């Protein structure tokens, strides 16, 4: 009997450690939001009354803390705060999960991390990157997807820093997307542009990379020249298409939500109530579908451009 009891005791699973990931992330978010609120209250410019409500004003970027190094403006504004917040969420969450140790018994944090890792590896990196550059650029496309995705998702959480005020000088809560700023999306696009051109030259040499813009085969030289110009312009215009796609989708979605909320407040009575269902529809549509989809498209196209540049000339 004592032997059986000892075996049963040995076979009993070890007590599961309490998952503290969510708790630490939650306290970190509270601390950051407290700092954010202080910045918005003290550093933000003077807010306007609701009688002057203009939806486009919510995307204005007034410096909360001016930092100028000669011609270089490094001021902290609302967009910078959103970028810092999304970076902290990604970095701190990953560090907490990994340092606690990975195990076969998945906790909440490890489950989220593994889902994100497997999705970016299988659905983005393996689908776009050739084997010879996979290890080098899988971290890059995964970072793009996670960083843009978090930026898009938190943009639908009301945070202090609105351009309007209903209580004296205290800014209202507002929705804002850093990815609805063309400077942010263009900076990410330039990174992809430089990487895929560098990899193309590295794989084929300068002349060989330019030759990859020309179709092979017995084709009229004039048509080869036309195709070369079109392919070259297409490569340059990726700077526009990749950056504007993300920027325009997030900007349009937030404008629709803000306009619906503004109409509901300004019109009042029954007419204002009509705008609420439209605002809720656009809110959930953008948050559930557009936020993740646009991050996926940006990361996927970045992987395609890099993979296409290092493949053999076409």
pLDDT of residue 43: 52
Phi, psi of 72 (to 5 degrees): -90, 120
pLDDT at residue 67 in the model: 81
Q: Which residues of 28-41 are buried (b: 16+ CB within 10 A; e: fewer)?
A: ebeebeeebbebbe
- Tell me what the mean pLDDT of segment 292-299 comes to: 93
pLDDT at position 312 is 61
Mean pLDDT of 4-17: 46
The per-residue pLDDT of the chain, averaged, comes to 78
- pLDDT by residue (tens digit) across 180-221? 889 899 999 999 999 999 999 998 888 888 888 887 777 777
Q: What is the pLDDT of residues 79-105, one digit of tens each?
A: 888 898 889 888 888 888 777 766 666
* pLDDT band, residue 311 (cuts 50/70/90): confident
CA angle 178, 183, 185 (to 5 degrees): 65
As beta bridge partners, residue 49 has 165
14 pLDDT more than 50 = no
Kindly tell me if the per-residue pLDDT of 34 is higher than 60: yes
The residues near 159 (Cβ < 8 Å, ≥ 6 apart) are: 33, 36, 173, 174, 176
Express as a percent the part of the chain with pLDDT over 70. 71
Check whether 170 has a pLDDT greater than 90: no
- Residue pair 83/184 in contact (Cβ under 8 Å)? The answer is yes
| pLDDT digit string, tens, across residues 123-167 | 999 999 998 899 999 999 999 999 999 999 988 888 776 666 555
Torsion (CA) 8, 13, 14, 19 in degrees, nearest 10:
-160
**Res. 26: pLDDT tops 80:** no
pLDDT at 246 over 60: yes
CA dihedral 306, 205, 240, 85 (to 10 degrees): 50
């Amino acid at each position: 009997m004592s032997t059986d009891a000892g075996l049963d005791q040995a076979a009993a699973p070890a007590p599961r450690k309490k998952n503290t990931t969510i708790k630490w992330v939650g306290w970190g978010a509270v601390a950051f939001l407290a700092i954010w609120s202080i910045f918005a209250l003290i550093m933000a410019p003077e807010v306007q009354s609701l009688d002057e409500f203009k939806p486009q004003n919510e995307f204005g970027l007034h410096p909360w803390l001016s930092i100028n190094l000669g011609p270089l403006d490094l001021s902290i504004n609302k967009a910078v705060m959103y970028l810092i917040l999304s970076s902290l969420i990604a970095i701190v969450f990953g560090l907490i999960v990994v340092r606690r140790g990975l195990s076969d018994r998945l906790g909440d944090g490890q489950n989220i991390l593994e889902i994100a890792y497997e999705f970016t590896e299988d659905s983005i990196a393996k689908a776009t990157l050739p084997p010879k550059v996979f290890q080098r650029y899988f971290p890059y496309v995964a970072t793009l997807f996670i960083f843009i995705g978090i930026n898009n998702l938190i943009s639908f959480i009301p945070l202090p820093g609105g351009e309007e005020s209903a209580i004296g000088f205290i800014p209202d809560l507002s929705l804002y997307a850093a990815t609805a700023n063309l400077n942010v999306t263009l900076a990410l696009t330039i990174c992809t542009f430089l990487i895929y051109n560098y990899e193309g030259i590295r794989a084929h040499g300068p002349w060989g990379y330019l030759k990859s813009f020309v179709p092979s085969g017995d084709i009229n030289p004039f048509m080869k020249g036309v195709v070369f110009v079109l392919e070259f312009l297409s490569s340059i215009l990726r700077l526009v298409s990749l950056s504007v796609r993300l920027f325009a989708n997030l900007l349009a979605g937030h404008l629709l939500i803000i306009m619906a909320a503004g109409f509901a407040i300004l019109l009042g009575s029954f007419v204002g109530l009509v705008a609420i269902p439209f605002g809720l529809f656009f809110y959930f549509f953008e948050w559930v579908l557009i936020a993740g989809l646009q991050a996926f498209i940006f990361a996927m196209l970045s992987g395609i451009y890099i993979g296409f540049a290092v493949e053999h000339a076409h």
